[in-house]
């Protein structure tokens, strides 16, 4: 035995030390697991598991979403909204998006030098303004939203309330200081034929609807209709499971502007009682929720569109983040109780 040969001391030669086996050339080395990263991963897994009861219940459920407010103008919020809608589709729900476009309409009117007039909180729509409304809603806002959704796959199809007679509307006025005021080419949805939307859903895609409607009393004329009420009418016609209305506040308040009076849930009767006490901008949204639930939509939600992914938080977490309106005979939650997937 040579002097430099390692020995065990028992007359046997110790094996020479070996180098670690090299990783396969197509492998990625993980190394030691980082405890902080593991905690983050566990939190994500817990969130996914928490959503499981809702995912089970809402599979194949049709959800109509009214898209508006700051979520339409902030690039990050627009991207987050598109992610949420596509997530719903890939999670097995059937989302339908109905959009307005007030900020974009106003920006285009200003660019063209056309003055805007509002009476009773509603835009007076002249024939010249109507041309801009039609162009912006269908040709700008709708196309942009379809493009955002389609960044995640060929999932979205845009259409107008004019297409296949989806909506039919009649002119409406308003009352200001006790007097009737003519609003021009502004209407209320009177008829809904959801067959075109249903065809798109049956093809596995997401309908994106702009709120222009043919005038039922004047052939060839179109009317500007409120997106909140149009979404509610479509939700009822489609027998949707839910109506979700995005807005620029956290939800519905029992005593606006007391932020501590935010409601988690209330019945249709409770919503009607609040109509005279809520902020003016909330009235059409609350009326839309009442309309939808009164006509068979089981639940309507008012959600803060300024919060990224608020729609997912409302639909798929126990706590929720907005306000849910339900039928009077639904006792699944009270105004301060927690939501339930059942």
Question: What would the pLDDT profile of 107-125 be if each residue is shown by its tens digit?
Answer: 999 999 999 888 877 789 9
* pLDDT computed for residue 280 by the predictor: 80
CA distance 259 to 254: 9
The whole-chain average pLDDT of the chain stands at: 88
Q: Record the pTM.
A: 0.85
Place of tokens 């990625």: 28
Angle subtended at Cα 30 by Cα 26 and Cα 31, rounded to the nearest 5 degrees? 130
- Pair of tokens at residue 123: 């835009």
* pLDDT computed for residue 14 by the predictor: 59
Average pLDDT over residues 139-160: 97
Sorted by sequence, the CB contacts under 8 Å of residue 266 that are 6+ apart come out as: 252, 274, 323, 324, 325, 326, 335
Q: Are 13 and 1 in contact (CB under 8 A)?
A: yes
Residue 326 has pLDDT above 80, yes or no: yes
Question: 319 vs 42, 171, 331, CA distance in Å?
Answer: 19, 41, 17
Sorted by sequence, the CB contacts under 8 Å of residue 7 that are 6+ apart come out as: 1, 13, 14
Place of tokens 């004329």: 221
Question: What would the pLDDT profile of 17-60 be if each residue is shown by its tens digit?
Answer: 666 666 666 777 667 778 888 888 888 888 788 888 878 888 99
Q: Are 63 and 88 in contact (CB under 8 A)?
A: yes
Q: Are 174 and 183 in contact (CB under 8 A)?
A: yes
DSSP label of 324: E
The fold adopted by the segment(s) 62-326 is Carbamate kinase (3.40.1160)
* pLDDT computed for residue 53 by the predictor: 84
Return the top range by mean pLDDT from 42-46, 57-61, 203-207, 273-277.
Answer: 203-207
Residue 8 has pLDDT above 80, yes or no: no
Read off φ and ψ for residue 337, nearest 5 degrees.
-85, 170
DSSP label of 281: G
Q: Are 172 and 223 in contact (CB under 8 A)?
A: no
Question: What would the pLDDT profile of 212-270 be if each residue is shown by its tens digit?
Answer: 999 999 999 999 999 999 999 999 999 999 999 999 999 999 988 888 899 999 999 99
CA distance 214 to 207: 19
* pLDDT computed for residue 338 by the predictor: 39
Question: What would the pLDDT profile of 170-192 be if each residue is shown by its tens digit?
Answer: 999 888 888 888 999 999 999 99
Residue 224 among known ligand-binding residues: yes
Average pLDDT over residues 207-216: 98
Question: 243 vs 15, 27, 159, 205, CA distance in Å?
Answer: 73, 47, 19, 18
Residue 101 among known ligand-binding residues: yes
* pLDDT computed for residue 20 by the predictor: 61
């Amino acid at each position: 035995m040579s002097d430099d040969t390692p020995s065990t001391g028992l007359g046997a030669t110790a094996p020479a030390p070996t180098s670690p086996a090299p990783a396969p050339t197509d492998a990625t080395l993980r190394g030691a697991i980082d405890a902080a990263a593991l905690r983050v991963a566990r939190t994500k897994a817990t969130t996914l598991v928490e959503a499981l009861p809702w995912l089970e219940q809402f599979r194949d459920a049709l959800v109509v979403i009214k898209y508006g407010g700051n979520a339409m103008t902030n690039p990050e919020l627009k991207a987050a909204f598109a992610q949420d809608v596509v997530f719903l589709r890939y999670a097995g729900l059937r989302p339908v998006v109905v959009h307005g476009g007030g900020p974009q309409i106003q920006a285009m009117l200003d660019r063209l030098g056309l003055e805007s007039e509002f009476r009773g909180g509603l835009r007076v729509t002249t024939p010249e303004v109507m041309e801009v409304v039609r162009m912006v809603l269908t040709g700008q806002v709708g196309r942009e939203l379809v493009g955002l959704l389609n960044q995640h796959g060929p999932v979205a199809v845009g259409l107008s309330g004019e297409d296949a007679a989806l909506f039919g509307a009649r002119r409406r006025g308003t009352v200001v200081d006790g007097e009737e005021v003519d609003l021009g080419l502004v209407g209320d949805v009177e008829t809904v034929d959801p067959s075109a939307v249903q065809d798109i859903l049956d093809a596995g895609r997401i309908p994106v609807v702009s709120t222009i409607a043919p005038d039922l009393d004047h052939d060839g004329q179109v009317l500007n209709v409120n997106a909140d009420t149009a979404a509610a009418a479509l939700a009822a016609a489609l027998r949707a499971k839910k109506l979700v209305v995005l807005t620029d506040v956290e939800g519905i308040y029992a005593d606006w502007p007391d932020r501590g009076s935010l409601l988690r849930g209330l019945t249709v009767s409770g919503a009607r009682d609040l109509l005279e006490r809520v902020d003016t901008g909330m009235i059409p949204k609350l009326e839309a929720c009442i309309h939808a639930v009164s006509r068979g939509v089981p639940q309507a939600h008012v959600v803060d569109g300024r919060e990224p992914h608020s729609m997912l938080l409302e639909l798929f977490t126990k706590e929720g983040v907005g306000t849910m309106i339900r039928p009077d005979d639904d006792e699944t939650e009270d105004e301060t109780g927690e939501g339930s997937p059942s």
